[in-house]
Structures are given as C-alpha cells and as structure tokens.
Chains A and B, each alone.
Chain A
Amino acid sequence: KQEVTQIPAALSVPEGENLVLNCSFTDSAIYNLQWFRQDPGKGLTSLLLIQSSQREQTSGRLNASLDKSSGRSTLYIAASQPGDSATYLCAVESGAGSYQLTFGKGTKLSVIP
C-alpha cells in the first residue's frame, strides 16, 4: 500500500527566503506526482504535475523535482512571499490508469513579512 510522507509538518520562514518542501513515498512504481496548495477552508489548487518519466517541472517561482528510485520529490519555492502562506500537499498516482491519488498530510508554510 502506497504511503506518502511530508516533512516538516509546519515551516515558518522570513519573506524573501528560498525554501524546500519534502515529499517521500514508499512504492516507487508511480505514474505521476502532483503538488497542490490549499488555503484555509478552501479547495486544492494544482501547482505542478510531474510524470514518472520526468525529473522536474517548473512554474514561475516553483520548481518540483522527482527522484522515483529513491521515492522522493521536492518543491522549491524561490523568493518566498507572504502570499505563499498555505498548506502544500503532495500526492502520487500509483499505476498507469488508476487515476487514484494517495496524499501526504501536507506542510503548513508561513511566510513572515
């Protein structure tokens, strides 16, 4: 059974700092990995999707990497801003065509002005 772990559970950084959020998964036979952002009381916003054949994806100040063999992904946020404060969730789809995501519990990020 796939398990996804995100460490740390919470992170507080000063504005402008570059930061890395970590995600690990137990079964390396994944189809893709997706990073989401969730603001309090809101739904999830998709940030980046990395296919299993890819090593990284970039969108603006965000860069996500994937190392399937070691069961790890990182989300790099450059020049953090207070508006980046949210909970970041990692999810993996195991097996081609399953469409079923297994989520981590998230990292709650606070960017201090």
Chain B
Amino acid sequence: SQTIHQWPATLVQPVGSPLSLECTVEGTSNPNLYWYRQAAGRGLQLLFYSVGIGQISSEVPQNLSASRPQDRQFILSSKKLLLSDSGFYLCAWSSGGHEQFFGPGTRLTVL
C-alpha cells in the first residue's frame, strides 16, 4: 500500500531564516506530487505540483520554491521566510486515477 511522509511535523522559525520541508511517498512509482498551504480562514492553496523528476510548476508567485530530486521525493524551500509564510503545509500525491492522497502536514510558525 502507498504511504506518504512529511517532516518535520512542526517547525518554528524566525523571519529571514531558510526553510526546507520534505515529503516522500512509498509504494508507488512516478506519482504526481503537490505542495499545498492551508492558512487560517483560507482554503487550501496549491503552491507547486510536479509530474516528474525535475519538473516543477508554480501556481503562486512567492518566495517559496520546490524541487523534486528523486521520483518519490518533493522538497519545499525558502531562502528567507516571511511572517506571511506561516501556515499548515500539506504534501499530496496522485496517480492515474487522479484521486489525491495527503500527508500528515507540517505546521510552520514564522516569528
């Protein structure tokens, strides 16, 4: 069966510090991978998606970036965090059936 992992589970970072969130999927090959952000009072916002290694599409211009160094690994990064980057970050995967499956999330607080 397929499993999706995210770490860390929670993170508190100062403004201006770098960020690296990791997502890995087990039990499937060549999945589509997604990064979403869920902010208080707002719906889930798609940030990035990837259909293959090295292929990244950005949905929202901002100071975040994503990379996919391996087939089942998706990384969300920032060089300098802003207060507005606080939120709940969710990674998801899908395959041919288009149904999306989500990870447990990372709670990021920028102070």
Contacts and interface: CB of A to CB of B under 8 A. Distances in A.
Interface string A73-104: 00000000000000001010100000111011
Interface residues of B, number: 23
B96 to A, nearest CB: 10
Contacts of B42: 105
Interface residues of A, number: 22
Q: Could you say which of A4, A36, A49, A101 has the most chain B C-beta atoms within 10 Å of its C-beta? A: A101
A34 B94 CA distance: 12
B98 A49 contact: yes
Contacts of B59: 100
A106 B102 contact: no
A34 B99 contact: yes
Interface stretch (B11-19, B65-73, B76-84, B103-111): B103-111
Given A99-B32, A99-B49, A99-B94, A46 B43 contact: no
A44 B90 CA distance: 9
Given A41-B107, A99-B32, A100-B49, A46 B44 contact: no
B98 A99 contact: yes
Interface of A: 4, 31-32, 34, 36, 41-46, 49, 89, 91, 93, 99-101, 103-106
Interface of B: 6, 32, 34, 42-44, 46, 49, 51, 59, 90, 92, 94, 97-105, 107
